[in-house]
Amino acid sequence: MTANDRLPAEIMVVDDDPTIRFIAGKTLGKAGFDVRTAGNGKEALEQVKDSFPDIIMLDVVMPEMDGFTTCSNLRDISACKDIPILMATGLDDIDSIHRAYEAGATDFITKPINWLILEHRLRYLLRSARAFGSIRSAEEALRRAHEELEQRVEERTLELKKINSQLQEEIGHRRQMEEHLRKAYGDLKNTQAQLVQSAKLASIGELAAGVVHELNQPLMVIRGYSQSLRRNRVTEEDLANALERIEKNTGRMASIIDHLRSFSRQSQSDFKPVRINTVIEESFLMVGEQLRLRNIEFFKKLSADLPPVKGDSNKLEQVLLNLITNARDAIEEKRKIRASENPAGASAQDGSAGRLEVITRLSENRKDHIEVLVKDSGCGIPRDMIDKIFDPFFTTKEVGKGTGLGLSITYGIVKEHHAEIEVADTGSNGTTFRILLPVE
């Protein structure tokens, strides 16, 4: 006996022949079945109302209700749908066999009954009914698992949809932020350009005083010559000479004015090959007189034959002017400090000449770079301040004197030129700024 045909199983034997019921009870009971019997179809239907057997053996020919009707009535009861029903038909009664199957019988056995075969047949039916049951429940479990899976897929899809829409929302948000950022960056660039321009205009204002002196000097020369021409009798040669000097000096004045005009013009960066020495000469054209007035000696040690750099000459000039005015202020600051430290010798110290030097040369360490050094004999920069001087609005100057923008703008321009700027040296003897410009 295998697990599938485990006994006891209850069999209901439905037959109007008491002998058969008796023999069935005995032989099947002996074979391990629990046997209950019914004398006809009606009785059988009554019995299943209370409890269902595991298997039914049903006689075909019975009074009151034949086996076929009983069988189909049993199949109408939902709990009896899967109970194996074995119908006992007459031998070779093909018609009955067909009808038995039509009424829902699981199998048939012919009369007279061979009890030994019956036992095996019953076991086989039970086994297949149980296997069928297992398949059914496996199917059911599969269906439930499938349903559960579908539900989970549906839930997950919903979840994913939700996440997706959140993501879309976030992407939208980011795009908006990006747009804001782009606009803010645009505004910032604009502001920076305005800042550069206003710093430039501010330095022009400051330069104006110096420029007045620059212009005054040739004007005096012109005036002197024209007065002497009017008053004195002059030779042809004197006249030619005087006119030449006048022309030369008006030329100098025109070039100062021209330069001031082009420097103040707002310009987008205009990168061209630039001779750095020319930029330096033009910067001194603007500030030279001013430095002289403040008793600051300046020296230009400009290497000849330097290759051009790629840059915007106006902006590079702004860098030089920022460094030169800072040097000028540092020299004056040093005078003030000395005066406060030594009030007695103040007047003598005040008069001491400051020194400013601008050097250009090819860099020894960095190939293809020109080095521009701006050296002053000023007050120096305290060590802990060196990191801050390029920050916008960092100034040690009194209110109204410095905006703190000079070096931050200088830094911006230097970066724009793919160049570098640093404090090469600073101390009580003064400060040296170094700019490294890549050659074109």
Ligand X SMILES: Nc1ncnc2c1ncn2[C@@H]1O[C@H](COP(=O)(O)OP(=O)(O)OP(=O)(O)O)[C@@H](O)[C@H]1O
Using CB under 6 A as the criterion, which residues of the chain lie in contact with ligand X when the complex forms? Answer: 322, 326-327, 330, 376, 378-381, 389, 394-397, 402-408, 431
| Per CB under 5 A, 406 contacts Mg ion | yes
In the 8-state DSSP scheme, what is residue 423?
Answer: E
* Residue 405 binding target from Mg ion, ligand X, none, CB below 5 to 8 Å by type: ligand X
Find out whether 308 and 273 touch, Cβ atoms under 8 Å.
yes
Q: Which is nearer to ligand X, 68 or 284 (CB)?
A: 284
Task: Tell the smallest beta-carbon distance from residue 309 to ligand X (Å).
Answer: 22
Tokens of 277: 């020495």
**Closer CB to ligand X, 112 or 400, in the complex:** 400
Among ligand X, Mg ion, none, residue 87 binds (CB under 5-8 Å by kind): none
Q: Which residue lies nearer to ligand X by CB, 314 or 426?
A: 426
CB of residue 378 to ligand X, shortest distance in Å: 5
Q: What gap in Å lies between CA 104 and CA 90, rounded to an integer?
A: 18
Kind and range of the H or E element at 181? helix 115-231
Q: How many CB atoms lie within 10 A of CB 97?
A: 18
For residues 370 and 361, give the distance between their C-alpha atoms in angstroms, rounded to a whole number.
6
To the nearest whole angstrom, how small is the minimum distance from the Cβ of residue 383 to ligand X?
Answer: 12
> How far apart (Å, rounded) are the C-alpha atoms in residues 325 and 210?
12
Stretch that binds Mg ion, among 65-73, 166-174, 319-327, 386-394 (CB under 5 A): 319-327
**Residue 277 near which of Mg ion, ligand X, none (CB within 5-8 Å, type-dependent):** none
Which of ligand X, Mg ion, none has residue 397 at its interface (CB below 5 to 8 Å by kind)?
A: ligand X
394 binds, among ligand X, Mg ion, none (CB under 5 to 8 A by kind): ligand X
Residue 136 contacts by C-beta under 8 Å, 6 or more apart in sequence? 82
Among 70, 203, 277, 326, indicate the residue that binds Mg ion (CB under 5 A): 326
The reply to whether 378 sits near Mg ion by the rule CB under 5 A is no
What residues have CB less than 8 Å from 87, skipping those under 6 apart? 57, 58, 59, 60, 67, 71, 96, 100, 103, 105, 107, 108, 109
Cβ 381 to ligand X shortest distance, Å: 4
Would you state the structure tokens that stand for residue 314, as one six-digit string? 């106006």
**Residue 70 class from Cβ within 10 Å (0-12 exposed, 13-18 middle, 19+ buried)?**
buried
311 binds Mg ion (CB under 5 A): no
Footprint of Mg ion (CB under 5 A): 326, 406
